[in-house]
Amino acid sequence: MNIGFIGLGLMGRPMALHLAEAGHTLHLWARRPASLQPFSDSGAHAHLSAAEVARHAEIIFTMVADAPDVAAVTLGDDGITAGAQPGLIVVDMSTIAPAAARDIAARLERARIEFLDAPVSGGEIGAINATLTIMVGGRADVFDKVKPLFDKLGKSATLIGGCGAGQVAKACNQILTGVGVAAVAEAFNFARKSGVDPARVREALLGGFAYSKILENHGQRMLDRNFQPGFKAWMHQKDMRIVMEEAHRLGLALPSAAATAQMFNAMVGSGLGDDDSIAMLKLLESMSGQQA
Amino acid sequence: MNIGFIGLGLMGRPMALHLAEAGHTLHLWARRPASLQPFSDSGAHAHLSAAEVARHAEIIFTMVADAPDVAAVTLGDDGITAGAQPGLIVVDMSTIAPAAARDIAARLERARIEFLDAPVSGGEIGAINATLTIMVGGRADVFDKVKPLFDKLGKSATLIGGCGAGQVAKACNQILTGVGVAAVAEAFNFARKSGVDPARVREALLGGFAYSKILENHGQRMLDRNFQPGFKAWMHQKDMRIVMEEAHRLGLALPSAAATAQMFNAMVGSGLGDDDSIAMLKLLESMSGQQA
């Protein structure tokens, strides 16, 4: 199949390579030519614009930073709409606001282009190992067409609902993981400041209702003081901004998510933005007179 | 062994019965005689005061509501200290502030009474099924003596550290479970208000880093709208008060726990105190124009 892929960063590059390895012909466009380098032996075609990619592809994946990038690549000058063939499917795997996804979907529909929002969780490791969790919004018949390709990228792809539902599920994921990191960091700092070994607390709590993947995995990395990303704090900050803007739009109070969003703001302000999100522990320590 | 048990409520009653079933002789005192009724066939001895219990027991368990109750039963008029034999061990399984536990331990030590703080998680079901998680603070040699009895009450008993460390671990447990409930309730309400089925979101997220026992177990009960306790909201409110008072004492910021503590306050204020803590979903719905 002729597949377009636009957005060849930390996440997009390994994802596109999985599709090439599965025997598909890739059509690529990248702002920086260096991004195309890893594809030199893959039989991929480089193009001069997203429109040019659209002239050659049946399905185009996008994996970019935020909603304005998705809009530019799809609807902008020399964007996908400028070159799309009838029946083209655009699958946006970026994390953007649900409202933005619905808006882009509606504008693509007027150009007779099908759209799925399909954000992922699992991070760079998940992209490399093809173990991403893919949360999809859109029409079931379109989802069914793309499903075999999703299966090359992740361990599970779930159709959550209509347009934007994938982004809603991703927002829920970012609430649960962000607040989860905050709760574990607060508990560990509480234990340590109380003179109690957080490692023993974690061990005792893993067997009960306090168990979470965050306590097990991220908690161990906090104890190891391994703050290498993983998932950078500034990216989680961005995702919490999407959550809080959507909450504002909907008239919805999210108290624990709001407190956590503020903590991510403080992490970025404290120079911890490029650390993993678990460096929230360092922020809490710096706020309570405990330096690492 | 002659074992004292004081505090025969929802939690204490099944716990004491497990010890009787294991062949131990129970010595009981209760404010309300009706509390002794379930023990009529157990060979247990009823006494007129905690001091009287102390005259007959080698180890006394207490399972009461809060720190003032523990202090009254141990140090008050006709309390345990008034009747204690040399070598007596007091094991308090109530959830109280770490500072209060340390204070009571110090005062009992002056009366040559050993003390363990040993709060539990797992709720009434865990007490009935002897599957409690027991978090213990105190001396290792005292813990070793009591360990065979803990094993009759729960699936794991962990010595976390010195005096008060059990209560610190319990406070951490209540942070993680309380904030966990808030995060899941916020995510589900966010999904529903966005027009997306929370059940499908939960299903998609269970396979990734958002996985927690709270999402699996409590999340399913939220979807079933089964708000029967379980663990009552007013009890979690009390435990979050302990957490926040301790944070104040230590000069420690707990942003996500603080937001959650406020939500438990609002639950009690909204008449949801006797519901399970997962009724936080109902509170959030009432705050966003969505009635059940």
User: What is the rounded distance in angstroms from the CA atom of residue B150 to the CA atom of residue B91?
Assistant: 10
Q: Does B33 or A178 have the greater pLDDT score?
A: A178
Contacting residues of A for B214, CB less than 8 Å apart:
209, 212
Q: Hey, which residues of A are catalytic here?
A: 170
Q: How far is A45 from chain B (nearest CA, A)?
A: 34
pLDDT of residue A173: 98
B40, with CB counted inside 10 A (0-12, 13-18, 19+), is exposed
What parts of chain A have a pLDDT lower than 70?
Answer: 291-292
User: What is the rounded distance in angstroms from the CA atom of residue A175 to the CA atom of residue A214?
Assistant: 12
pLDDT of residue B290: 75
pLDDT of residue A292: 54
Q: Which pTM does this prediction carry?
A: 0.95
pLDDT of residue A206: 95
> Nearest-CA residue of chain B relative to A184?
B176
Pair B92, B102: CB distance under 8 Å: no
pLDDT above 80: residue B14: yes
pLDDT of residue B291: 63
pLDDT of residue A91: 98
Residues 6+ apart with CB under 8 A from B87: B58, B112, B114
Nearest to B120 by CA among B18, B51, B259: B18
Total CB pairs under 8 A between chain A and B: 249
Select from A161, A173, A209 the Cβ nearest to the Cβ of B208: A173
Would you kindly state where each structural domain of chain B is located, as residue ranges? 2-162, 168-287
Q: Which two tokens stand for residue A55?
A: 């002239």
User: What is the rounded distance in angstroms from the CA atom of residue B180 to the CA atom of residue B277?
Assistant: 11
Residue type, A49: S
HEC sequence for B6-52: ECCCCCHHHHHHHHHHCCCEEEEECCCHHHHHHHCCCCCEECCCHHH
Contacting residues of B for A243, CB less than 8 Å apart:
190
Pairing relation of β-strands A89-92 and A59-62?
parallel
* Residues B132, B137, B142, B143, CA torsion sign: positive
Q: How far is B162 from chain A (nearest CA, A)?
A: 8
Select from A173, A201, A259 the Cβ nearest to the Cβ of B258: A259
Q: What is the CATH number of domain B2-162?
A: 3.40.50.720
DSSP element (H, E) containing B116: strand B114-117
Q: How far is B56 from chain A (nearest CA, A)?
A: 33
Q: Do residue A200 and residue B158 have CB atoms under 8 angstroms apart?
A: yes
* DSSP single-letter state for residue B287: T
Query: Averaged over B78-86, what is the pLDDT?
Result: 96
Contacting residues of A for B239, CB less than 8 Å apart:
none
Contacting residues of B for A192, CB less than 8 Å apart:
none
Q: Which two tokens stand for residue A199?
A: 């490692």
Grade residue B292 by pLDDT with cuts at 50, 70 and 90.
low
pLDDT of residue B45: 97
Nearest to A280 by CA among A204, A202, A180, A211: A180
Q: Do residue B204 and residue A156 have CB atoms under 8 angstroms apart?
A: yes
Q: How far is A121 from chain B (nearest CA, A)?
A: 7
Q: Which two tokens stand for residue A13?
A: 């590059």
Q: What percentage of chain B has pLDDT greater than the value 70?
A: 99
Q: Which two tokens stand for residue B66?
A: 């809060």
Q: Do residue A195 and residue B284 have CB atoms under 8 angstroms apart?
A: no
Nearest to A157 by CA among B203, B138, B245: B203
Contacting residues of B for A282, CB less than 8 Å apart:
none
CATH superfamily, region B168-287: N-(1-d-carboxylethyl)-l-norvaline Dehydrogenase; domain 2 (1.10.1040.10)
Mean pLDDT, chain B, integer = 96
Pairing relation of β-strands B45-46 and A45-46?
unpaired
Select from B175, B196, B217 the Cβ nearest to the Cβ of A190: B175
pLDDT tens digits along A125-167: 999 999 999 999 999 999 999 999 999 999 999 999 999 999 9
Pair B8, B31: CB distance under 8 Å: no
Q: How far is A170 from chain B (nearest CA, A)?
A: 9
Q: Hey, which residues of B are catalytic here?
A: 170
Contacting residues of A for B168, CB less than 8 Å apart:
190-191, 194, 196, 201
CA A254-A259-A261 angle, to 5 degrees, is 90
* Residues B17, B18, B24, B26, CA torsion sign: negative
> Nearest-CA residue of chain B relative to A102?
B194
Q: Do residue B204 and residue A160 have CB atoms under 8 angstroms apart?
A: yes
Q: Do residue A212 and residue B98 have CB atoms under 8 angstroms apart?
A: no
DSSP element (H, E) containing B76: none
pLDDT above 80: residue B119: yes
Distance of alpha carbon B284 from the chain centroid = 25
User: What is the rounded distance in angstroms from the CA atom of residue B6 to the CA atom of residue A13?
Assistant: 64
Q: Do residue B288 and residue A195 have CB atoms under 8 angstroms apart?
A: no
pLDDT of residue B230: 85
Q: How far is A88 from chain B (nearest CA, A)?
A: 26
Helices (H) and strands (E) in chain B, counts: 13, 9
pLDDT of residue A291: 63
Pair B282, B186: CB distance under 8 Å: no
pLDDT of residue A224: 98
Q: Do residue A212 and residue B212 have CB atoms under 8 angstroms apart?
A: yes
Which residues partner with B279 through β-bridges? none
User: What is the rounded distance in angstroms from the CA atom of residue B283 to the CA atom of residue B291?
Assistant: 9
User: What is the rounded distance in angstroms from the CA atom of residue A274 to the CA atom of residue B289?
Assistant: 39
Q: Do residue B197 and residue A172 have CB atoms under 8 angstroms apart?
A: no
Q: Do residue A252 and residue B193 have CB atoms under 8 angstroms apart?
A: yes
Q: Do residue A256 and residue B184 have CB atoms under 8 angstroms apart?
A: no
Nearest to A101 by CA among A137, A63, A126, A145: A137
User: What is the rounded distance in angstroms from the CA atom of residue A134 to the CA atom of residue B105?
Assistant: 52
